[in-house]
């Protein structure tokens, strides 16, 4: 019997949130699609991570956060056998910024009480993105917004493979405005968010909700961004660091408020659907 302890993706997230409050399951999945991590799979297809994979993830996220390195450079460092990165895997506990995310707090409590990291027995959904609360530290959110990695583009064929959709479905997504590519020579490239959009749209389709019905989400998002733009654009036009910082602070709060309002409205109406008649 193997002595290797495996963690689900939810348990990995719970550990990472302690140091990286803005990380998400979608981010972990994206790093896998870019070939930076290679978690094993259970017979049913769920990801399972070893401790070494978790440390590798920590290294990748630190390189992005601290040095703002693009993923291709980080990948080269990981693959370069002449580069000693083992010393970068460890970080003193006092340097870790404590997240207020419930999953991170639960992981921290278990680690403190047992002296070991949470095992696979920890009850965290394996493939479910947790809702990030509003209490995540503002500085981390602003840093994520400012230094978001836009260096990775995905060619059409790769997008089709990673999101498990067919070319016709992708064309429908483009026609609906849910994803948009840009041409480089004879190849169409998409941004990294297109993978998540395609995967979500495909799952909606499996559940009987067609792409045409998803346009309302796109319309709502466009209106929301337009409204936010009206508020922060005057500050950005001032072209000074203080005004830009104020604009980013405002944008982070507006995004959080919008997400909170949407969730509250949906939960209120869903409650009506599930009430006993």
Query: What number of residues does the chain have?
Result: 277
Task: Convert the pLDDT of each residue in 187-199 to its tens digit.
Answer: 888 887 888 899 9
Higher pLDDT, 7 or 120: 7
Question: What is the predicted pLDDT for the residue at 123?
Answer: 37
Task: Give the whole-number percent of the chain exceeding pLDDT 90.
Answer: 23
Is residue 142 included in any domain, yes or no? no
Domain that holds residue 185: 152-209
CA-based torsion, 188, 168, 29, 191: positive or negative:
positive
What single DSSP character describes residue 154?
Answer: E
Residue at a domain's end among 76, 107, 134: 134
Higher pLDDT, 65 or 45: 65
Total-model pTM: 0.47
Residue at a domain's end among 187, 209, 231: 209
Three-state helix/strand/coil letters over 122-153: CCCCCCCCCCCCCCCCHHHHHHHHHCCCCCCE
Question: What is the predicted pLDDT for the residue at 52?
Answer: 92
Is residue 147 included in any domain, yes or no? no
Q: Are residues 74 and 106 in the same domain?
A: yes
Q: How far apart are CA 90 and CA 86, in angstroms?
A: 8
86-95, 181-190, 222-231, 247-256: least confidently modelled range? 86-95
Residue at a domain's end among 88, 104, 134: 134
Q: Are residues 225 and 185 in the same domain?
A: no
């Amino acid at each position: 019997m193997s002595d290797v302890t495996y963690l689900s993706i939810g348990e990995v997230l719970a550990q990472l949130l302690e140091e990286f409050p803005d990380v998400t399951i979608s981010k972990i999945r994206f790093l896998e699609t870019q070939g930076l991590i290679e978690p094993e799979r259970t017979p049913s297809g769920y990801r399972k991570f070893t401790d070494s994979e978790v440390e590798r993830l920590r290294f990748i996220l630190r390189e992005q956060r601290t040095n703002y390195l693009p993923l291709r450079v980080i990948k080269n460092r990981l693959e370069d056998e002449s580069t000693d990165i083992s010393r970068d895997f460890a970080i003193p506990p006092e340097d870790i910024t404590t997240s207020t995310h419930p999953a991170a707090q639960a992981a921290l409590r278990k680690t403190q009480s047992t002296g070991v990291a949470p095992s696979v027995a920890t009850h965290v959904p394996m493939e479910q993105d947790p809702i990030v609360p509003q209490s995540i530290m503002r500085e981390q959110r602003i840093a994520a917004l400012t230094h978001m990695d836009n260096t990775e583009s995905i060619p059409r064929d790769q997008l089709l493979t990673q999101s498990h959709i067919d070319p016709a479905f992708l064309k429908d997504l483009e026609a609906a405005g849910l994803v948009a590519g840009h041409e480089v020579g004879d190849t169409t490239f998409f941004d990294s968010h297109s993978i998540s959009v395609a995967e979500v749209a495909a799952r909606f389709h499996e559940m009987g909700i067609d792409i045409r019905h998803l346009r309302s989400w796109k319309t709502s998002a466009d209106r929301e961004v337009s409204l936010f733009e009206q508020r922060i654009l005057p500050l950005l036009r001032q072209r000074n660091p203080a005004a830009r910082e104020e604009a980013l602070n405002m944008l982070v709060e507006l995004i959080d408020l919008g997400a909170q309002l949407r969730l509250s409205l949906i939960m209120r109406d869903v409650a009506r659907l599930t009430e006993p008649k």
